[in-house]
Amino acid sequence: MRIEYHIEGGDFSAAGGASSAVRKTLKQFNIAPLLVRRIAVVLYEAEMNVVAHAYHGTMTVDIRPTGIYVVIEDSGPGIEDIDKAMQEGFSTATDEVRQMGFGAGMGLPNIRKNCDEMTLTSTPGVGTRLEIQVNF
């Protein structure tokens, strides 16, 4: 079952909508509540990355009996150094974004910690693609 969501860059007030919708859907399944929560946290962080850094993006969620597969693709500045971006505490967020309480450099490390598989690819100046898998 595939669901697609649009994410608008810079729209902090509406951020969390996509991850919230996925979480509501998952609650209808017989999945351990804490696993649902883990997935929600992963998707929220991923969604926030698009909101905080990119111009716009899409989140495609595929729910299968074995797990959830998510692709978040955005058009934006991209990531220059992926290894560095994966380090805890590293962030390129602007002061403006930081003032709103984001940009602590924990987003990507948090995603990696909470999912079973993660692939991050990026072309600087074009955009970023993040693939996430969480097994049920």
Partner 1 sequence: MKDRNYTHSIQIDSNKCIGCSRCMRVCSTKAIRIVDGHARIQPERCVDCGECFRACPQRAIYAKDDGLTSLPPGHHTIALVPSVFIGQFPPGYSATQVLDAVRQVGFDEVFEVEHAVDFMKRAYSAYAESHLTRPLISSYCPAVVRLIQVQYPALTGQIMRLKAPHDIASLFLRKSRERRNGAPEDDAPEKISIYYITPCAAKSVAASAPVGEEKSFIDGTINMTTVFNLALKILRGQKETMDRKSVADMSPDSVCWSLSGTEKKYFPGRSLAIDGMDNVIEFLEKLELGQITGIDFLEMRACDQGCAGGILCPGNRFLTVERLEKRRERLRMLKEEHRGTVENSLLEREEELHAHSGVGPVYPRDGLLLDEDMAKALLKLQRIDRLLTYLPGFDCGACGAPECRCLAEDIVKGKATISHCVFVQRVMEKNYKLSPEQSFAVIEKVWGKNRLDKYRE
- Subset of 38-67 contacting partner 1 (CB under 8 A): 40-41, 44, 63-65
Tokens representing 113 are: 């910690």
∠ at Cα 108 (102, 113), nearest 5°?
120
Binding test (CB under 8 A) with partner 1, winner from 12, 20, 93, 105: 20
* Closer residue to partner 1 in complex, CB, 47/74: 47
- Subset of 80-119 contacting partner 1 (CB under 8 A): none
Asked whether the beta carbons of 105 and 88 are under 8 A apart, the reply is: yes
Binding test (CB under 8 A) with partner 1, winner from 12, 25, 58, 71: 25
Tokens representing 32 are: 């351990």
Burial class (CB in 10 A: 0-12, 13-18, 19+), 115: buried
Number of chain residues interacting with partner 1 (CB under 8 A): 22
H or E stretch at 16: none
Site residues, partner 1 (CB under 8 A): 1, 16, 19-20, 23, 25, 27-31, 33-34, 36-37, 40-41, 44, 63-65, 136
